[in-house]
Amino acid sequence: MRPSGRAPDEMRAITIDTGFTKHAEGSVLVSFGDTRVLCTASVEDRLPPWLRGKGEGWVTGEYSMLPRATHTRGQREAAKGKQSGRTQEIQRLIGRSLRAVVDLKKLGEHQITLDCDVLQADGGTRTASISGAWVALRLAVNGLLASGALKEDPITGKIAAISCGICDGTPVLDLDYAEDSSADADANFVLIEGGQIAEVQATAEGATYDEEGLLRLLRLAQIGCAQIFKAQDAAVK
């Protein structure tokens, strides 16, 4: 039995509210149960130095938790003077995942930054960030297309992410904090609509797992992402 009473392949409620803030070119408040992340897409004309003058664009991600998004207050990274290894890992994952469904040449010399700020955390913040950031990106690109700044859609597909894990020997979908902190294995899948995989990160925490376990987690992730793709569709419309 899961702490939340959910079935092993049961997701938490997903909500994706667009337009949560007004300045960003794309703005989304995404919730997976009690996990809530504000994802904004900012379009800028300046590119990182190593891309200038190549006729290509860039998509990147940034991630942060508000200090009291969690059960106990965490120190601000700005006050500590550096971002943790965990933050940097997640930021790199968000950017890499979104770029997997963007044709940077078609994006032209624009940079789109996906800021994912966790307002409340209950497990799965990095996967919620990716799933929400895609919607923010979609909205921002829609704006560029509408304004004529882009002629051709650079987005090549839909991407979503979900965590799965093995808890007390059972593979389960969409871990909340109670499960996440006690899972034997913890995996994050980033999947592209249509069956392709963008990223698998599967880590043994207490116990290890085998090929069969990995496949069962992947199957759960496919179930979960199918639902996220639907929620993304609904949000964009």
The distance of closest approach from Cβ of residue 164 to a second copy in the complex, given in angstroms and rounded to an integer, is 13
Residues 181-220 that bind a second copy (CB under 8 A): 187, 192, 195-204, 208-211, 213-215, 218
Nearest 10 degrees: Cα torsion 93, 96, 99, 105: 150
Under the binding rule (CB under 8 A), the answer on residue 67 touching a second copy is yes
- Residue 46 · residue 57 · CB < 8 Å: no
| Order of strands, sheet of 14-18, starting from the edge strand that comes earlier in the sequence | 14-18, 26-32, 35-44, 111-120, 58-65
Which of 22, 237 has the CB closer to a second copy?
A: 22
**Main-chain phi, psi angles of 95, to 5 degrees:** -60, -45
**Per CB under 8 A, 104 contacts a second copy:** no
Tell me the CB-side half-sphere exposure of residue 109, using CA atoms within 13 A: 11
Asked if residue 13 binds a second copy (CB under 8 A), the reply is: no
Backbone angles phi, psi at 69, to 5 degrees: -70, -20
- DSSP letter, residue 60: E
Stretch that binds a second copy, among 3-11, 80-88, 167-175, 225-233 (CB under 8 A): 80-88
The whole-angstrom separation of Cα 35 and Cα 102 is 26
Burial state string for 127-154 with b = 16 or more CB within 10 A and e = fewer than 16: bbbbbbbbbbbbbbbbebeeeeebeeeb
132 is in an annotated binding site: no
Out of 87, 142, 182, 227, which residue is the one contacting a second copy (CB under 8 A)? Answer: 87
Q: Give me the least distance between CB of 185 and a second copy, in Å please.
A: 8
Residue 179 binds a second copy, judged by CB under 8 A: no
For residues 161 and 131, the answer to whether their CB atoms sit within 8 Å is yes
Asked whether position 18 contacts a second copy by CB under 8 A, the answer is no
The answer to whether 125 is a known ligand-binding residue is yes
Nearer to a second copy, 61 or 150 (CB): 61
Closer of 113 and 232 to a second copy (Cβ): 113
86 has binding-site annotation: yes
Q: What span, in angstroms and rounded, lies between the C-alpha atoms of 116 and 63?
A: 5
Q: What is the closest distance, in whole angstroms, from the C-beta atom of residue 140 to a second copy in the complex?
A: 11
When asked if residue 83 is in the footprint of a second copy (CB under 8 A), the reply is yes
Residues that bind a second copy in the complex, under the rule CB under 8 A: 21-24, 27, 34, 36, 38, 40, 42, 44, 62, 64, 66-73, 76-89, 91-92, 96, 100, 113, 115, 117, 119-120, 187, 192, 195-204, 208-211, 213-215, 218
